[in-house]
Amino acid sequence: MSCTGIAANIAFNCNSTGNNAGVEELAVLFRWSDIDQGACTFDATNPLKLETLVGDSSPLAGYSYTSAFNAIRPNFSKVADGFNPNKYAHVVNLPIYGEDPTTNRELEKLVGDKVVAVVFTNARTVEVFGFWSGLYVTSYTKDFYENEASHQIVLSTPEGVAEPSIPYHYVGSSSPSDDFETLRAEILAYVS
């Protein structure tokens, strides 16, 4: 990250308003410990563009989590912390609809894990949350009379820890691209 000040204009973009808000009803989770963060590459001119996801020692495996009702809600916020201006908390609200032993067991395992979450936005971008610090289940509730009886899971940067930037914009491993379908396919290829 550069410590320099602002250096470019930002114009209104008609293509990023209205129906582009929100994300698809699919998130791909990776075990944080399975990613070799040091081997992943970033764009040389824009360090917020992640070009590769590299597995630590074995092929990288992703796990798809599907929701419904436009309920996956990723967000981030600036963390005020003294002299370091680059601290952010990443959060992914991940409601899961399902009531069976397999789903329940996987969600229970998720509670004890540290993950990186990839979401696909309606603005046709691929965003990566928790890349450096990981995301933990910081809240997990289920009320059989609320929220369509879904498992309400909140993945977030833990208290006292921060990501050094806003979520990364995944631009692809073979050749940096803005083609959403290509990028989406690259991420989904990790899901077995």
Can you list the positions of beta strands (E) in the chain? Answer: 23-31, 49-50, 62-66, 73-78, 88-96, 114-121, 126-129, 135-142, 151-156, 168-170
* CA distance to 29, 75, 171, per residue, from 155 (Å): 10, 11, 23
Radius of gyration of the chain from Cα atoms?
17
If one counts every other C-beta atom within 10 angstroms of the C-beta of residue 89, the result is 19
Residue 163 DSSP code: B
Question: In the chain, which stretches have pLDDT less than 70?
Answer: 1-4, 10, 12-20, 173-176
What pTM was estimated for this model as a whole? 0.89
Q: What is the pLDDT of residue 12?
A: 66
Q: What is the pLDDT of residue 175?
A: 62
Q: What is the pLDDT of residue 15?
A: 58
What are the structural domain ranges in the chain? 22-188
Q: What is the pLDDT of residue 1?
A: 47
Query: 2 burial class (0-12, 13-18, 19+ CB within 10 angstroms)?
Result: exposed
Q: What is the pLDDT of residue 70?
A: 82
* CA distance to 11, 22, 159, per residue, from 25 (Å): 30, 9, 27
